[in-house]
Amino acid sequence: MKLSGEIALASGFIFDYSNMINTDTITPAVIETLESKAKDAADALLLIREQGMAKAHLSKDGTPEHVLFTKLPFVKNGNPNTPESIAKLKQFGSYLQQEIDAVVFLGVGGSYLGNKVLFDIFAGSGWNVGCEKSRHGYPRVYFSGNNLDVDQYSEVVDEVEYLATHRLGKNEQFRVLLVPISKSGTTLETLAAFSYFYEQCQKSSLLQMEVAVVTDLDEDISPLYNLAKENVWQCFDIKEGIGGRFCIFSDPGLITAAAIGMDIDAFLCGARDMENACQSASLGENPALLNAVLKYAAAEKGVDIEVFMPYAAKMKSVGEWYVQLLAESLGKRKDRKGNVVYYGRTPVSAVGSTDMHAQTQQHQDGKKDKVIQFVEILEREQQIVLNNPFTHISSLKKYDGLSVDHALKIALAANEEALNSDGRLNAKYILPRIDEYYLGQLLYFLMLSVAYEGELADVDAYDQPGVETYKQIMKLKMSHQ
């Protein structure tokens, strides 16, 4: 098969893989030998789409478990996202906009990383320091419960109490909403933080507390759900068949979208269009399948590190989200036949141009065991052209009239060219702009890519048995305290 080096979707999303093919590592002959496996991988995803089950996938208790992430983009009755559940989220967002001053999201892993992506991109670092008008009435947003860290707990409580003391809320009392997110309702980091914040809010005369929980709505599974029923707290669902690393497109992630006024419909639409574009068994037509084949081919040649490097500072948390997606999905000791394979790449999060001054030395001169994955944004909302206020210094004249975004694009192109000059594998995802639609496209593309690669490697991309090892040890140690 002849590959052109680029797949451009009708949406404007582009997968530029020209620097991954016709190299010493990935030759046309290598790709040709993988076409049959790629066809099998496409067939396997088709079964997941149709039946909601993945080959040999079991829950951690050994019973069959659904794999339903491919249904997330489609809002319909019987799917994880229904018209009713999306309407409920939007109504919740309106309530927060009108009544709540601060939301504290309490979650770890997939219940935190995806939420932080949405907040960083669509709210940003200035969200909490700006006035209520700049947030269009939406509440300040804080994250905790993603670590067992007393300093983090204290900082959030101190800030909220400061705001309450200075009467920076909508009404006489400062209203705080706690949102613990845990499928089991027992996650240590989440419940420890929730217990602490709940107690502090109860003791404070400055704060009026409310709670909404995101958990499995089964009283036999989640004690958090039982607490919610007992206290008449609002509940949102974590559906069976949606693992934490895939949940950004469902209630656990969309609740943050609702809290900051994000366009949920556009976000899901981006994912839906990507799902529809990635169903072909033809490598030249299915960008997610081709991405998986190229990474799999590189892994077979000893490339076992992947650097995810968006050229946009606000996308740093996308890299951190992707670390979990890649590590938990593909980092597996055994394949589905029980053979020890030690599969998977070590994911590394980077940001351009920041990490060109930190990591690029290793990327360029270190071992040739890495694939560098760039993300480029074609158009930015903000455009800044510099003037030189120091005209008497000749060496600074080059900055006069410089477009900052153009300089960033030059930095990416230079990094790309430098890697190519030494035969180092790299590829690029190109987005027309950063908005809900294109973020939905990118995140869902990455999900599909790891799903296809799991089939190529014949590993279960939906379990995480290695995580259970430390959990059992930690549980035993805590029982002796």
Give tens-digit pLDDT for 311-322.
999 999 999 999
Per-state percent for the chain, helix, strand, coil, to nearest 5: 50, 15, 35
Intervals of the chain under pLDDT 70 = none
pLDDT computed for residue 378 by the predictor: 98
Cα(254)–Cα(237) distance, integer angstroms: 11
- pTM, full prediction: 0.97
Q: Which residues contact 467 (CB under 8 A, 6 or more apart)?
A: 328
Bridge-partner residues for 431, per DSSP? 377
Cα(88)–Cα(78) distance, integer angstroms: 16
pLDDT computed for residue 478 by the predictor: 86
Bridge-partner residues for 96, per DSSP? none
Q: 221, exposed or middle or buried, with CB in 10 Å at 0-12, 13-18, 19+?
A: middle
What is the C-alpha R_g of the chain? 23
**289 conformational bin, left if phi > 0, alpha if psi -120 to 50, beta if neither:** alpha
pLDDT computed for residue 60 by the predictor: 83
pLDDT computed for residue 459 by the predictor: 98
Q: What is the dihedral of CA 131, 133, 137, 141, to 10 degrees?
A: -30
